[in-house]
Amino acid sequence: MILYGISNCDTVKKAKNWLEMHNIDYKFHDFRKQGLESEIIQGWLTQIPWDKLLNKRSTTWRNLEPEVQQSVNAENIIQLLVENPTLIKRPVLKVNGIINVGFNADTYQGIFN
């Protein structure tokens, strides 16, 4: 099991706290520090629509040129996310090959019970 995100994200902190409270072992991958391979994102996109993975409320998104924002599509999303991993909605949890985006205690409860 891998929890992907960035260390200083409040939602990632909530997910980490939830996992630790429930004594669930996980590996944390900080994609700001460790980066992400395009193959990882490509794997996520087999289960998650790209527009659900893209965080349009992030500071990184708001700082992109309007032309870049308007040109985002299924063909160029992987490269954009590799270059700007903070555009990924956090956290991304991979459990037994299943991808879950975001944190919700009830969802996590369902995943682990």
**What's 51's domain CATH number?**
3.40.30.10
> Which of the four pLDDT bands, split at 50, 70 and 90, describes residue 38?
very high
pLDDT at 40: 96
pLDDT at 67: 96
Q: Which domain holds residue 69?
A: 2-112
> Which of the four pLDDT bands, split at 50, 70 and 90, describes residue 113?
confident
Mean pLDDT for the chain?
Answer: 96
Give the tens place of pLDDT for each residue, 39-93.
Answer: 999 999 999 999 999 999 999 999 999 999 999 999 999 999 999 999 999 999 9
* Residue 9 is among the residues annotated as catalytic for this protein: yes
pLDDT at 48: 96
Active-site entry in 3, 5, 9, 87: 9
Mean pLDDT value of segment 5-24: 97
Contacts by 41-47, CB closer than 8 A, 24 or more apart: 41/77, 41/78, 41/81, 41/82, 41/88, 42/78, 43/99, 44/92, 44/99, 45/77, 45/78, 47/98, 47/99
For the chain, what is the domain count?
A: 1
